[in-house]
Structures are given as structure tokens and as C-alpha cells.
Structure 1
Amino acid sequence: MNKLTLRNLKENKRRTLVTIIGVIIAVSMLTAVSTLGVSFIDLLKRDSIARDGEWHAQFIGVNNEQAKELRKDSNMEKVILSNNLGYANWKDSKNDSKPYLFFKQYDEQGFEQFLITLKEGTFPKASNEIIIPDEMRKKGNSKYAIGEEINVSIGERHFQLEEEDSILTQTDPLQRNEEGKSVEEIQQAKSYTFKIVGIMETPSWEPSWSPGYTVISYLDQKELTTSSSVNASVVMKKVKQSIYEDSESLAKKLAIAKVDFNNELLRYYGVSSNDNLLLTMYSLIGIVILVIVIGSVALIYNAFAISVSERARHLGMLSSVGATKKQKRNSVFFEGAVIGGISIPLGIIAGIVGIGITFTFINKYLQDALNSTQGLNVVITPYSILFSIIISIVTIFISTYLPARKASKISAIDAIRQTQDIKLSGKKVKTSKFVRKVFGIEAEIGLKNLKRNKRRYQTTVFSLIISILLFLVVAYFTDNMKKSVGLSQENIDYDIAVSADSTTPEEELQILANAPSITESNLIKNAYVSTYLKKDLLSENNRKSVEKGDAFLEDGKLPFTVNFFILSESAFKRYANSVGFPIKEYTNPDDPKGIVIETASYFDPYEEKFVEEKVLNAKPGDYLDLYSYREESAKDEIFTKIQIGLFTNETFMGMDADNYRMLTMIISNEVAEKLFEKEKNINLNYNLYLNSDNPEKAQEELEDLKTVSIYIYNVEKDRKQSEQMIMIMSVFMYGFISLISLISIANIFNTISTSISLRKREFAMLRSVGMTPTGFNKMIYFESIFYGIKALMYGLPISIGVIAILYWSISNTFEYGFALPWLSIFYVVIAIFIIVASAMLYSVSKIKKENIIDGLKQENA
């Protein structure tokens, strides 16, 4: 039987090749997705390590004995000791935002784990040796050389705010007053003498806004005592979900006060303290894999189902000479094993090669998007290959099981006569008189054909349903992943931001706006005011927070911030033209009215998810009470109110409306002057947003032009990163959609063309009794319409159901309104009818030219 099966595969080269190609495509899809997932996680791990060093947990305030105990712990692979010595004033600095040197100590292991890149010299080997950043030589008045000694006084940065004294770190920028002078000081300073032994690149983990250039020294564990206090960063032998509990428990056992975690790196190991994020990640991966498996099963099942239909006569003849049910069933299983043995290795190779070529093309863009030197490497793990093999084998088994059962039940007489797919009875082929009256006899014959060839009809409809499901689910997944990335990324539509307080002359900012390299500018004044909202005015998410007890009402109201964007006369006119509202209504100071941004996207710290929703359950014409702090009563009190003129989602350059518990309102300058004229506690701040063809050059021009204390931020890199990240995701997802679409179209063409070729005798009979070419085409068109309608009747509801499950999965981390992909549904409806009609006409055109007598004599063997 196996020899006969092999011979049959060789004889029917076209069908065998189509089946093998179908399985290769399915396996390559699975391999590509699993390899992509593993490779992308590997990239994110390497990028996180390159920026923040390789460590999983950090024990704060460790003495010598505690460090020894940590090293003894069986879960620890590496223990890296580090210490923040503190800050020293650096008089040689040319950068007024970086007036300090920040001294940090590492043990020998730390230089490797925290990726300190040496350019010249050697690493420190004693506590009085240091390596300095190359940038320190470029941005300082002195040219420091290896071998030179420096004397410094190192202490803590302190900032006094009213009665509270704060100790500042590298993540805190330099604190200044309104005149731009530093209002912090270094306290508890001690004198040190260091010898420069090397020059390094600025560490990637140093924040760009930090006030001190990082200088690295050596931490000698032998010098530690029981009264020492250093940090111990640990690398675990095996990263598990229990790392949080285990580390906290160990810290408690060793009497260590605090433990920090490298949450970003741990997330890429599949470990997170945020259960919502893990649930979202795993459920999305599961749904995508399930969709691929369903598509693969459909593809391979159709190939084997068609194979059994074409081999029906052959199997019947074997049955007539004594082949048992088991032998016929095993014959189909053996065919599946042979095709799998050929296709699975080729599919795995094709998937790996295909994803490798994709990585080569997108790596440059990816590095720019992540602002990283890291690129995607093709990472092949035994688990990812094993996953692809197991899923492929299971898929082939499922795909062959039903055809194998069907083959085992074929009787010799039915198979030789080829009547196994045609079950004739009056009821089953009965059609409505309405069909014949409205559409003609051709439509009735077409519908009867479908009912007579029920199995083939169901196989084709099933292919169409799977195609609809795959396309709509992947399209929805793509759009929502882009939306999720957009929610988690900052909305930056400018290259440079300039901020100043209300004492800065507006003319000074206009001079900057007219710099030679500036192509577009927008000057905005900001004011932050408090308001309190009743429960019925709250958005759905904030109302839930109140009901859960995460948010507390004050006198029955929830405190909110109103961010007023105050536009100049010309800017307000431009905005009015863009949104479409009468300017006079919004420039009357006696009847203050503003425009509220209707929808906001923000991260809810209580729900631990990204949310997009209407910020306010109010309507135009409602009033907001505005509050200001009163020292005499020591609380916020109403000082005025403002009317909501209209709601819009139209924003302008530099506008950020995405903040937690914040309303964004745009008002005119005339209204602002009246509202805040008597309120001394409300500060007005200027923000100038600029675009340029050359942001680096523009920043240099602005630095030269400024004469007062203002802050200039070049954010062009952040904006580009956001855009490129979304673009990369689009490339992957639309590439995936294209592949799914091509596979689906190929599947439908294969199913329909084979079905048509098996109906040669039927078509020959219709032509023999006088059906004209026009009538024949009409019948085929109606069959196509029936296929399409039936597929859409089942495919759309099933797809919407899966989309709802996807939405539920994403909503664990990102919350926004559910919306069906109507445009994609429209495309699917049109595409289904075009594809089915094209496939049927293409197939029929091949058999039209055949002789009627030959068609009537046709045997499908």
C-alpha cells in the first residue's frame, strides 16, 4: 500500500507539488513567527543590557558581611558591587547645565556587566584610580591626560524647598531659580585625590539631563567593613517569576533595607510584577499562533481533502481487490508523513532564511528607532524549532485525519462510479422558486450544483471563511498594535522645545523663533489650575477608580488639573479656522469660554494600563469651577468659572493633552488675562515649539541667540524613534498580512480550480444539452455569489468574535473604545467576490475548449 501511495504521488506531480508547497508555506510561517519572537526578545534584552547593564536585582545599602552572604546564595550567578561616592564641583565645565563630576565605584566585575567602554588606558585597579569620559575633555577648559592627578571634594547634592531638604541624584536635573542660578549645594564634602588611568566613552546609562559627568573609580571589597554601605547588583542563574518574592525574602533575612529590580530586562525574560502586561503578552502571542495554526490546518487540510477526492477511484479499486479500511486510512496517513518529511525541513529552512533577509533590510531603521547600536540577529533556539516541528506535525495529523477517515469508508462501487461526494435526494437539491424567477434557470442550476457537490462546496466555503478570519484578525491586530505603541509613546510633533517662565520677555522668544534654521514655530503660554469634578462628570475609568477606592472624593468631588493653553491672536485665528468656531465667542473676557480636548491617552497607575477615553462626561455649555489655593483657609477655593464652548480632538504643534486626571483647554489671550489677573498663585509659563531641517544646527543657533535663562531641549531623536518604531511594526504586520493574503488566495484558487476540474463531466453534460456560453458564464457567476455570501455569513461573525477576544487581551494593558475594522471588512467583502469569481472563471476557461465527448468520458483517476 505504501509503495502504491508513493507511486500515486509521483504520477500526480502537480497535486503533490501543490500540497508540498502549501505545507512548506505553513511551516515557514510558524518558523518565521517563532524565530521573530525569540530574535526580537533577544534584541530587547541586549539593548536593555547595553543601556542599563546586565543585572536582575539590586540590594541597596549592603555591608561587607551581607555581600559575602549574597555571594554564597545558590541562586546568584554573579554579584557586582557598586557605590555612588557623590558629586564634586567642576569649575572647568563649559556646560552650565553640567557643573559637577559624579563619582561612581565598581568592582572588577562591574566594568564588564555595566558595559564601560574604554577608549584609552586601563581600568582602575585601586580605589585612588579613575577613568574619565572623553566628553569631559571636550566640554572642559582643561585637557586632562592619563597619569594626571586631580583633587576634588565629593559630597551630596542638597536642595532646600521651604522646610524640606531633598538629596538629589543623577536622574534629577540641576535645580535653578527664576534668574537661572543654581539653588542647590553640595554638603558633607570630603577631599579625595585621584589618578587618571584611562579615558572611556560616556556610559549609556547616564541620563542626558544629569548635572554631572560620570567618573568611574574602583571598589575594593577588601576595604569594606561592617559599617560600609554599598549596592550589590545580582545576576540570577535562572530568572523566574518568583524573583520578586525570593529577593525580598532574602533581603529581609539578611536585614538589607531595600531591593530594586531591573523591571525592563526582567520583562523580556517573561517576568513582570505587572500581571496585566504578562497576560496581554502571552494571550496575544497565543492568539496569533492559534490564528496561524488554523490557517495552516485549513491550507493543509484542503490539500489532503482534494487529494483524497482525486484518489477516490484509485482507493475504490484497491478496496475491490481486498484493501481493508485500515490500509486505506493508513495510506492517507502515510501520504501525510511523506509530504511532512519533505516539507517540514524545507519549511523551517525557508522560514529562517526569509526572516534573516527581512532582518537585513530593517536593522538600520530598527537601530535608529531604538536609538541603539544593537540590531536583530537571527536567534535559533531548540525550543523554537521544536515548537515549529511539533505544531507542524500536529497540523498535518489533524489535516489528514478527516480525509483518512473518509478514505477508509469509501466503498468500491461508489468510488469507481465517483458518487461518494454526490448525495442525491429531492429535499437536498430543492431550491426556492424565487431564485429561478429572479435570477433565471442558470442561477438555479448553479445552486443545485453546490447542493449536489456538498463536500466540495463546504471545503471551498471553509477556505473562504478561514481567509476572511485570517485577514480581518491580522488587520485588527496590526492596527491595534500600532495604536498601543502610539499610546505608550510620547506624541512629539516638534524638533526643539524652548521653555521659559512669565518673567521672560516675549520678544526674546520671538528672536529665537526667527533663527535661520527654524522652519516652523509655535509660541504657547501655559497655566495649570485646579478644578473638582462631581462623580457624574467623571470619565468611565475615573468613575471605576472612585468605586474601587483607588481615588478619593473631596466633598463629593474628584480633584483634577486644568491645563490651559493660551494662544496669541494670530495662533488663535489659525486654530479657529482649523477647528471651525466663531472667534468672537471665544475672545470675550466678560463671558469666558474655552475649547476642551475631548479624548486623552494616558497610563493609569492604579489599573496599571494605558487608557484612551473621553476625559469628561459633560456637554458644550456646561461650566467648570476653577480653584486657587488660599493661605488664610489653607485649602483650594473657587475664584471663577469658565464655560465649555465645544469639544474637539484637533491639536496643534507642541500640544500635549495626554495626562492622567488632567483636562486640556484652549483659550484666547484676552480670556486668560481676565481669568488670571488677580490670581498671584497661578504662574504663566512660555513654551516655544520649533521645527527645523537641521535640529543640531538650530540648537547651536538658539544657544548663541539666547540672552536670558531659558531651557532648550532637542527632542528630534525621541520623535523619530516613535515614528520609526511604528513604521517597523507596520512593516512586520503588513508583511504578515500580505503573506496571509497570498496564502489565502492561493488556497482558494487551488480549492476552486481542483473542484472545477473534478466537474468536467458535469459541465460537458450541460453543454451537450444546449447551455450557451453566456448561460454557462451566468451560472458560474451565480455560483461565485453563493460561495461569497455563504462565506461572509459565517466568516464575518466568527472574525468579529475573535476580534473581540483580541480586544479583551489588549485591554488588560491598553484601554480604549472597541471599534470594528470597517474598512478592512469592506475590503474583505469586495475581495471575496473578486477572488472567487476570478478563480472560477480562470478554472472554467481551461476546460471550455475541451471536447464534449472527452468530457463525458472523463475519469478522475
Structure 2
Amino acid sequence: MNKYTELTEKYLRGQKKRSLLTILGIVLSVTLLTSIGTIGMSYRDKLVRQTIDNYGDYHVSFNSIPGEAVPKVVNNATIATAGVISREGYAVIRSTDEKEKQENPFAAPYRYLNVKGYDANAMNMLRVQLDSGRLPENPNEIMLSTWSLDHFQKKPALGDRIRLDLGVRKAASTGKEKKINGMGDFGWDLDEAFQAQTQSEFTVVGLMKPSSHSTWSSAFIFPGITFNGNQSIDPKKKYFVYTKMKSLDQMKKKTEEIVSSLQIGSSDEGSAIELSRDNSIQNSRVEYNNELLKLYGKSTYAGVNRSAILAYAAIIAIVMMCTVAVIYNTFHISVLERVSQFGILRCIGATPAQIRKIVFKEAALLSLIGIPIGLLTGTVFMKILFYGISFLTLGFLNDMRMVVSLPILAIAGLLGVVTVYLSAIGPARQAAQVSPMEAIRSSGSTPAENITSIKKSLLIKKLFGFEGQFARRNLQRNKKRFRITAFSMIISITLFIVFNGLVDFLKQTTPSGIQYSYSIAYEGPSKRIHDSVYDDLLRLDAVQQAYKFYNQQAMAIIPKRKINPKYYELRKERYVVEAGDGYRTDNNFLQSYGDNGLDALQAKLTAGTIDKEQMNRDNGVVVVQKISMTTEQGQKLIIDQTDFKVGDQIKIRAVEGSQAQYQAVTVVGIADQDLLSKGYHESATLGFITTPEVFAKITGDDRYSRIFILANSDLPNEPIADYLQALTKEDGGYSYRDRVTELAQAKNDATTASLFFYGFIGVIVLIAFLNILNTVSTNLILRNKEFAVLKAIGMTQKEIGKMIILEGIFYGLFAATYGILIGTALSYGTHRLLADAVYTEWAIPWGSVGIAFAGALLTALVATIWPMNRLNKANIVDSLRKEN
């Protein structure tokens, strides 16, 4: 042996179990970091692609600008790519007949086709969704909405040629052209006329999927898309230019400079809405695609960017600190328990510098073994996870793909190296500085601290006997070892609580969509669906459930003390009309889903209970007061508008109807969402759900004009669709919506989200469990000689076993207490950091706390089983003779 450092390899080979335990700690930590980084990058990639599908692949759009301004935008030095859309005009598919006007007095005079010309970049940026066929490639080709086909005199098919008279909409009485804002249109005037200007012939080459977020005007105004290469810009036309910036830095300033150069007057700003909302109002001249930009940390709302960056940094910091702590703990125990061995080396001539080199070389070797394995296992684990997902029909993650990021792997590896070396500094310094004679006198385990007395606990002795006293004293006399072991458990508990809190946060902010299969509405003069229709639907085997939907706008007097102060500061304009000790509000709805709807709503209550007889007697209502809203600063809030409790009374009356007097209703329950949604209302509406009897009593109206239908997923749904189609042909006042595909998607999304969220929590739990198991087991194994001494002086194996189990319990209790406190505090801290982007009410995570507490005790007990089995087999004399 030429160098003392050559002892390192011999020691690692000679103490294989201890070395493997240390390597395992490093592997687990690097695996955790690699897994989290890979999931984070993959999830971000999924969100970016999904957001592009929903909102478009662009950064900022310039809406309804004159033709001469288009080149100034497209050729601006800050613009990388631009897609241009032109308004080609309206075309009348057919006029609304007299029968339909009688049944629906508010029907539009015509069924319109809103024709727009897209260039190739625009079609790519706005993700035009094909149902069949292909995208238009030249100006004489067109793509139609599938919903519009039945309204043509002759239903067009792919390849057919259609002739359209394109023109403008005007007020029939004045001849003034109707002002159109934005890409789509919302509403019409009954006093409306159409003036044709040009005639064009198109070949139908594609059919668009129907919008998933259509408004009530979608039944009268349908989109049509043709190709416009914009080789020549018509100065008389209005254009929409969708752009991607070369750099997202100072994007808002660059956009304002572009608008200023156009010299088109004042410019309103807004945020992009979902592409599927084709008929919604878009008045803003400049729209930022903030849903996409915030994923890049470049939202035009500074608070959102700051919150997201701080939250991500905090999460990464928590993971890094936990990883550092796990590796430090494992390596520290391994080195600290061998102080006597280093003392022997000191006695035969090794210098402190050489001792430090031995420890650091050991750290290097362990890093070379553990870190690559950790990177590999983390990557392989994620590969297996994503491979499994690929076989499942899961809406939200169905196209999620694994993103292996070299920077993530490099950071994980570098962090592992740095952490192992940092973990070695303290023990190496201690081993180098210890007196050689003192080190030799050590028993081979961590030297007991200089303790003059140990406090006795009569309670411990009474509850657990002398074994409990021994267990408690063992922890007290080796406080450093106790703290190191407990620290590892605390870190694991903290990690679990923080990430479980993040999962709950994501679940709150990820609504899963609609919850019904079909709906049928009646817009005829009576506004009443006959009960025979409801009965017919229930007779269909394919119908799982059907709900009569009663709905009327209601005025309510909201007591001032019941208004959420935070919501009041944001929406003071809602509370301006004082009435007694409260405010009168109009934007409320009294609703009923029938008696069977109340039975289903019971499971959604967060407070109270449903008793239909009591509700009929006391005018009982269930209040839906939580909404999702976005502030002017771009902060998304999940917030309660009011603070009603069970037993409160509210004065309400219908806005329309024969009952003009306010009547008192009693709150019997609180729900966060209504019956048919897992998301929160996005409009500032307060919902009161009641029985049909109470609805009729308050409104003076017992009519329902809509039925929601839940289809049986195990049976074909064609009978439902056939019945609804026949009904609409028989009476033009009926219209229906087929949401089966969307319902299946919503269910898949809910299943997928649960699988993803709890699978991720499972990874955290598994790694935390193995970490605690490793640490506690290592601690006990390294005390073989100590336990042999106790056996030699008369303690039985059963008594030693009880003492070890009690030590595990004490470890678990101590770690659970501190881990819960720290984890809860950090969970609140990350919640506060995210508040500027998405605000939700924070509550103490009692569920996570309970699981963490029970898990800590259980894991600590399980961690004692293997060492106890090893102690049972060990020979007392051999254990006393040899070092660990």
C-alpha cells in the first residue's frame, strides 16, 4: 500500500452492506430530483401544446386593422412570423321561416355564413380543427362547419361546389351597415337586412369540428374559412394579423410601438380567448395570448410572471434542500460511525490532511457509482410511467410525451456531486481533528456525548416500562445521532405535505368540464317542455338519468356582513344599491334540477344536508357561491363571493314572474359547484338551487324549458339522438346539444388527472419511505455492538426488541411533529407565492397531516424489522469482538 487513500476501496468492498446503504441514499435522492425535473419539463411541454391548441400558436394579435396597416405589422423588425386573416363577407344560407319565428320570437332573420380568408400561417397559428377533408389551399376552396350543413337548401358534401353571395349586414329601417367587432359575431337585430355585394363560387374541401364552447348565436351564425394568400392587400378591408415575436422581452413595449407606428388612433388591449369560442365578442384591437405567454414566464401581467417564477423557484429550492438533506444524512452517518477507525490511522502516522483525503475519495467513489445510477433510474422510471400512459385512453395525458432534458440531468448530477462533498466536509474534519487515543477508545459507534445526567420520565416508565426508559435514554445520550436520523424523517414528511398541497392546488385550478351527455331546450312561445317528453326520455334504456332544469334570474338582498371582503374589494360595482342592512343584487339565479337532481347534489355539499320536505316547508336553498375569476392584473382567483352558512336567511324574488314580493329563503347547504359541473362558475353569479315546489312558490312559474340527460355509457346512445332529432323535426321550437364526446373527454380528464396527481404523490411517498427505512435501519445496524453489550448484561431479546420498537415510535413522533409544522408552513408559503397568478383559499391540509403522522410511525416501525432480525441471528461474542 503506497497511499492511505488506497484503504478506501478496501473499506468499501469490506463493508458492502453499509456502502450499499449509502449508495442507496444517493441513488434515491438523485432519482427524486431527476423524476421531478422530467415530470416538470414533460408537463410544461404538454401544457404548451394544449394551450396552443386552445388559444393558438401566436404571441400577440392586431385586430380589425385597415389594409394599409398590415405590411407595417408583418414587416416590423420585431416580428418573426405573421398570419393574416381577412373578412370576405357574410353569406345568407337561408332565411328563418315564419313557423320558427312564431316559436322563437328572438330568432335571427337569417342563417349566416361568416366567411374569412386565412393564409397558411394563420391556419397553422390558429389550429383550425378538421372533422374531415383538408384545409383550403387556394381562394376558390372553402371549409364549412358541420353544424351549418343542414341549413343549406341542398346539403353540401366534400367536393361539391357552392355559390355564395357575399355582402354585409345592415339595419333594415335605416340602411346603416352593422358594425362588426372582432373575428366572430355575437347576436343580431330583429330589424336586420342583408345586402349582397359580390358573388363567389367555392369547392367544399373540408369540414370543421363544431365548437366546444359555442354560444347561443352559434345556431344562426356559422364560420366559413377560405384561403387568402394576401398577395395583394385591399385597403378597404379589415384584417387580423396574428404574430410571433422574435424575442418576448419587453413585448408589451414593442407592441405599443408597433401600434403607434400604424397611426390608427387609440388601441384597446385584451387577452386572447379560446379559439373554439368563434362567435364571442373580441373588441380589443390588440390581444395578448397570455395563456401561452405565462408558460414562458412572459405574460403581460407582471404579477403573474413574478408569482410563477417565485413559486417555481420555491418548489425547486424545497426539492434541492430535501435532496441535500437526504444525501448529507446518509453519508454523515456512514462516516461519523467510523471515527475510531480514523483514529487508528492517526496512530500509525496518517495526517489530518490524509484522513480528509480518504473521506473525500470515498465521497468521489460513491458519487461515481450512485449518481449515474440515480440519473438512470429516474429516467427509466419516467420512461416506464409514460410507456404505461400510452396504453391508456386518458384525455388530458393521452398525448403527453416524455421530455428528457439534458440541463435537468446535468443539474441533478451536479447537485448530487456537490451534496456528497458537502456532506463529507463535516465528518472528515471531525475525523481529522479527533485525538488518536480518544478515537481508539471509542466503541466503534458514535461517541456518546458528555452527559452528566438524563432526566427521567415517570410517564414513559409507567406506559412502556424500563424498555421505554432505555429507549428514551438512548435517544438522549446520542443527541447528534438522534437529530440526524430524525432530520431525515422530517425532510420526508415535509416533502410529502408540500407536494400533496401542490396537487390539491392543481386539482382546484383544473376544472374537468361539463357533466352531461345531451341537453334539450324549448324556445317556443310557451317556454315549457311537456312532461311527456321527460317521461319518454326516462323510458329509453340508454338514458341513465334526466334532470328537469328550472331557471330564473333572481334579485337578492345580500347582508353586508355576508359579503366576502376580498371579493367586495374586487367587485364593488356589484354592491351599489343599498337595501336595509345589505345590497340588492340582480345577477343571481334561482334553479332546480328536480327532486332527483337534489339527490345527486347531496354528494357535492361542503356543508349542510338536503331534506326535500324541510326545503319545501322552509323555502330551503343550496347556495353555490364559489367562482373562478381573473382580475385586471391577470391574477386568477378561486374565491367565494359570499360567506353564507347553513341556517342563514336571504330575501330573494324573481326578476320576471307574477311574484313581486321578496320572500325569505333558508340556506340548507353550501356547494362549490352546481350539479352538472366539476368546474367553478366563471361569471359573477350567485346560484340558489331548490326544489321545484319552492321554485314555483317564489317565481310563480312551474315551467321548465330544458332537460339535461346523462347517457348510460354501457349502451349505444343512438336511441337518444334519434329521439331528439325526431322531436326537433316535429316541433321547430326544440333544439338539442350532443355532448357525449365532451363528457367522455371530461371523464377521461378527471381519471387522468387523478392518476397523474396521485401517481406523483406515490413516487414521493415511496422515496420518503425508502429514505426513512434506510436511515433508521442504518442507525440500528451500526449499534450492533451496543445491543450485544445489553444482551451480555442480561437483557432478553424480547426486551431489546421492545426497546428498539419504542425507539422507532419516539423517532416517528418527534419527526412527525416537526415535519408537520414545517411542511404546513412551507405549503402555505408556496400557496402565497402562487397567489398573484392563481388565488385559492388556503386551509390547513388535515388529510396530508393525518397521513404523514400515521406514515411516519408506521415507517419507523417497519424500519426496525430487518435490524431486529439481524440482531436475533447475531452471536453476542462475535458482535463484541468486531467493529461494525
TM-score using structure 2 length:
0.83
Q: 1:102 aligns with which of 114, 137, 143?
A: 114
In the alignment, is the contact (CA less than 8 A) between 1:316 and 1:410 conserved in 2?
A: yes
User: Does 746-755 or 76-85 show the bigger shift?
Assistant: 746-755
Partner deviation per Cα, 1:768-821 (whole Å, 9 max, x = no partner): 121123322232233223222322332222122112213323444554543323
| Aligned equivalent of 1:132 | 143
**SS class of match (1:473):** helix
Q: Do the aligned partners of residues 560 and 314 (structure 1) sit closer, same or farther apart at CA in structure 2, a change above 3 Å counting? A: farther
Task: Confirm whether residue 602 of structure 1 aligns to residue 602 of structure 2.
Answer: no
Letter of the structure 1 residue corresponding to residue 755 of structure 2: V
| 1:521 shift after superposition | 1.0
CA gap of 1:70–1:568, structure 2 versus 1, over 3 A, is closer
Q: Is the 8 A contact 1:51 1:204 kept in 2?
A: no
C-alpha distance in structure 1 between counterparts of 2:198 and 2:532, whole Å: 43
For 1:559, give the aligned amino acid.
T
Alignment of 1:790-801 (within 5 A): 790-801=814-825
In structure 2, the CA distance between the partners of 1:436 and 1:168, relative to structure 1 (3 Å rule), is closer
Q: Which residue type is aligned with residue 301 of structure 1?
A: Y
The SS at the match of 2:519 is strand
Which residue in the other structure is 1:819 paired with? 843
**Partner SS state of residue 649, structure 1:** strand
Give the partner amino acid of 2:662. K
Correspondence list, 1:355-754, <5 A = 355-363=382-390, 368-369=395-396, 375-418=399-442, 421-432=446-457, 435-436=460-461, 439-485=464-510, 488-490=511-513, 492-501=514-523, 502-507=526-531, 509-510=533-534, 511-545=536-570, 552-555=575-578, 557=583, 559-566=585-592, 586-587=615-616, 593-597=619-623, 599-603=625-629, 605=631, 608-613=635-640, 615-617=642-644, 620=647, 622-626=649-653, 628=655, 639-649=660-670, 653-654=675-676, 658=681, 660-677=683-700, 686-693=705-712, 694-695=716-717, 697-706=719-728, 707-708=730-731, 709-754=733-778
Aligned partner of 1:34: which letter?
A: G
Report the Cα distance in structure 2 between the residues aligned to 1:844 and 1:11, rounded to whole angstroms: 22
Deviation digits for residues 823-846 of structure 1 (CA, Å, limit 9, x no counterpart): 332333333223223322430221
Structure 1 position 20 matched with structure 2 position 23: yes
Distance in 2 between the 1:526 and 1:204 partners?
26
Q: Say whether the 8 Å CA contact 2:645–2:670 is kept in structure 1.
A: no
1:154 aligns to 2:178 (yes or no): no
1:316 counterpart letter in structure 2: G
Q: What displacement does 1:568 show?
A: 5.5
The secondary structure found in structure 2 opposite 1:217 is strand
* Deviation at residue 227 of structure 1 after TM alignment: 4.4
State the AA in 1 paired with 2:466.
Answer: I
- 1:202 pairs with one of 205, 208, 224: 208
- 1:697 is displaced (CA, Å) by 5.0
Q: Distance in 1 between matches of 2:829 and 2:314?
A: 9
Q: State yes or no: 1:36 paired with 2:39.
A: yes
Q: Give me the whole-angstrom Cα distance separating, in 2, the residues matched to 1:255 and 1:597.
A: 51
Distance in 1 between residues matched to 2:351 and 2:167, nearest whole Å:
90
- Which letter maps to 2:569? K
1:189: which partner in 2?
Answer: 196
Alpha-carbon distance in structure 2 between the residues aligned to 1:164 and 1:642: 47
Q: Output one character per residue of 1:577-609: Cα deviation in whole Å (capped at 9) or x when no partner.
A: 997666566546xxx723232653332545743
**Pairing of 1:42-61 with structure 2 (within 5 A):** 42-61=45-64
> 2:591–2:687: 8 Å Cα contact kept in structure 1?
yes
Closer, same or farther in 2 for the Cα pair 1:850/1:702, shift >3 Å?
same
Question: What is the identity percentage for the equivalent residue pairs of Structure 1 and Structure 2?
Answer: 23
Q: By how many angstroms is 1:105 displaced?
A: 1.3
What amino acid is aligned across from residue 246 of structure 2 in structure 1? K
For 1:398, the aligned partner's letter is L
Number of corresponding residues: 828
Aligned-pair CA distance for 1:304: 0.9
- For residue 85 of structure 1, report the CA deviation from its aligned partner: 1.3
* Matching of residue 328 in structure 1 with residue 355 in structure 2: yes
* SS of 2:143 mapped into structure 1: strand
- Distance apart, 1:347 and its partner CA: 2.5
For structure 2, list consecutive stretches of 5 or more residues without a partner in the other structure: 101-106, 268-284
CA deviation after TM superposition for structure 1 residue 685, in Å: 5.2
Change (3 A) 1:567 1:221: closer
Aligned-partner residue type, residue 76 of structure 2: D
CA shift in 2, pair 1:660/1:318, >3 Å: same
Shift of 1:624: 0.8
Q: Is the contact between residue 626 and residue 638 of structure 1 (CA under 8 Å) also seen in structure 2? A: yes
Match of 1:634 in 2: none
Deviation at 1:4, TM superposition (A): 2.9
Corresponding residue of 2:276 = none
Alpha carbons 2:622, 2:690 under 8 Å: kept: no
Q: Give the 3 Å change call, closer, same or farther, for CA 752–89 of structure 1 in structure 2.
A: same
Instruction: Work out which of the residue numbers 287, 296, 300 in structure 2 matches 1:273.
Output: 300
- Listed as ranges, the gaps of 5+ residues in structure 1 are 176-181, 631-636
Specify which of 205, 209, 218 is matched with residue 227 of structure 2: 218
Q: Distance in 1 between matches of 2:256 and 2:248?
A: 15
For residues 360-402 of structure 1, give each alpha carbon's deviation from its aligned partner in whole angstroms, at most 9, with x where no partner exists. 22246576237xxx71222234433333334333433433333
Structure-2 residue corresponding to 1:633: none
Measured after TM superposition, the shift of residue 452 of structure 1 is 2.6
Residue aligning to 1:784: 808
* Cα distance in 1 for residues equivalent to 2:794 and 2:185: 89
Q: Deviations over 1:251-282 (max 9, x none)?
A: 12222452222233223323223455445543
Structure 1 distance, partners of 2:692, 2:462, is: 71
Give the conservation status (yes or no) of the 8 Å contact 2:145–2:210. no
Deviations 1:598-638 (A, max 9, x none): 653332545743324373446636341537489xxxxxx99
Instruction: Judge conservation of contact 1:157–1:168 (CA < 8 Å) in 2.
Output: no
Tell me the secondary structure at the aligned position of residue 640 of structure 1: coil
Q: 1:239 aligns with which of 232, 236, 248?
A: 248
| Counterparts of 2:847 and 2:173, CA distance in 1 | 55
Given residue 665 of structure 2, which amino acid in structure 1 is its aligned partner?
A: I
With normalisation by structure 1, the TM-score equals: 0.85
Q: In 2, are the aligned partners of 1:5 and 1:331 still within 8 Å (CA)?
A: yes
Structure 2 residue identity aligned to 1:689 = F
Sort the Cα spacing of 1:325 and 1:701 in 2 relative to 1 into closer, same or farther, 3 A: farther
Partner Cα separation in structure 2 for residue 623 and residue 214 of structure 1: 45
Q: Provide the C-alpha distance between the structure 1 equivalents of 2:870 and 2:121, rounded to a whole number of angstroms.
A: 73
C-alpha contact 2:64 2:181 (8 A) present in aligned 1: no
Which segment drifts farther, 787-796 or 619-628?
A: 619-628
Tell me which residue corresponds to 2:290. Answer: 263
CA distance 1:720–1:851, change in 2 (3 Å):
same
Provide the residue aligned with 2:370 in structure 1.
343
Provide the C-alpha distance between the structure 1 equivalents of 2:19 and 2:598, rounded to a whole number of angstroms.
Answer: 69
C-alpha change, 1:757 and 1:569, in structure 2 (3 Å) is closer
Structure 2 vs 1, CA of residues 287 and 215 (structure 1 numbering), >3 Å: closer, same or farther?
same
Match of 1:230 among 221, 228, 239: 239
Task: Quote the RMSD (CA, aligned, Å).
Answer: 4.0
Look up the SS of the partner of 1:639 in the other structure: coil
Structure 1 residue aligned with 2:92: 89
Which residue type is aligned with residue 8 of structure 1? Y
Q: Which SS does the other structure have where 2:49 is aligned?
A: helix
Q: Residue 328 of structure 2 aligns with which residue?
A: 301
Letter of the 1:777 partner, please give it. Answer: G
